[in-house]
Amino acid sequence: MIDPNITAFFNEVYEETHKMLLVYLTGKCRNLSDVSDLCQEVYLEYFRILARRGVNYVRCPKAYLKRISKRKLHQYYNAREFTYETALSEEQNVEAVSKEEIEHFWERVTTSEEEILAEEIYIFLQSKPEDVQKIFYLYFELQQSIAQIAKSLSMKESSVKNKLYRTRNELRKQYLKEGADEKRR
């Protein structure tokens, strides 16, 4: 049986570090859809270490989690071969991943019209480069500032702003135009 002190300590560390770890993994991971799996693996490894060694084993949980994250990212990239066949198989699995991610990213959406719009926006963002998807995720889902996003993705702030605002303007043009066309009918 697991010690309740370990569980309480783990929950406290999780609450303090979850957002930081998501930001770090989003910046380092090649595929946005793999971020949540990697995050889960990091916390699972951390919990195993706490259960085996005790709460006092880790002096600085944030640094230790970052170290585990680096190791998991290294394993992720070593185990995964980015060949043409792998890329094709990933594209075929996009539909299964996208429904799960849509539910996770847009869980605050309540009405069916908003759900349809959210799904359309998600599909639109999937057509954009990976860095644009990461910028949107960090900005709107994790509520990071442009400076924080630039640091996480190792980009200039002006590049982040440009990609964010340009894509936002494309979304506005597309959906405001459609809304205006529907009102005329």
pLDDT value at position 40? 93
The residue among 55 and 102 whose pLDDT is bigger is 55
> What's the gap between Cα 92 and its chain centre?
20
Q: Is 23 left (phi over 0), alpha (psi -120 to 50) or beta?
A: alpha
pTM summary value: 0.61
| Torsion 79-34-94-150 (CA) sign | negative
Q: Which of 59-63, 103-107, 113-117, 166-170 has the lowest mean pLDDT?
A: 103-107
pLDDT value at position 13? 94
Q: Which of 114-123, 163-172, 176-185 has the lowest mean pLDDT?
A: 176-185
Long-range contacts of 163-170 (CB under 8 A, 24+ apart): 163/131, 163/132, 163/135, 164/135, 164/136, 164/139, 167/125, 167/128, 167/132, 167/135, 167/136, 170/124
| Most distant pair of Cα atoms in the chain: their distance | 68
pLDDT value at position 178? 56
Domain at 92-184: CATH architecture: Orthogonal Bundle (1.10)
> Of 1.10.3470, 1.10.1740, 2.60.40, 1.10.287, which CATH number belongs to 4-79?
1.10.1740
> 164 pLDDT band (50/70/90 cuts)?
very high
pLDDT value at position 179? 52
Domain spans in the chain, listed from the N-terminal domain onward: 4-79, 92-184
Say yes or no to pLDDT of 11 above 70.
yes
Say yes or no to pLDDT of 26 above 60.
yes
Q: Which of 31-40, 58-67, 101-110, 140-149 has the lowest mean pLDDT?
A: 101-110
41-97 residue pLDDT tens? 999 999 999 998 888 888 889 989 999 998 888 888 776 654 434 444 444 444 444
Say yes or no to pLDDT of 128 above 60.
yes
Which DSSP letter does residue 59 get? Answer: S
Distances (CA, A) of 61 to 2, 21, 128: 19, 11, 35
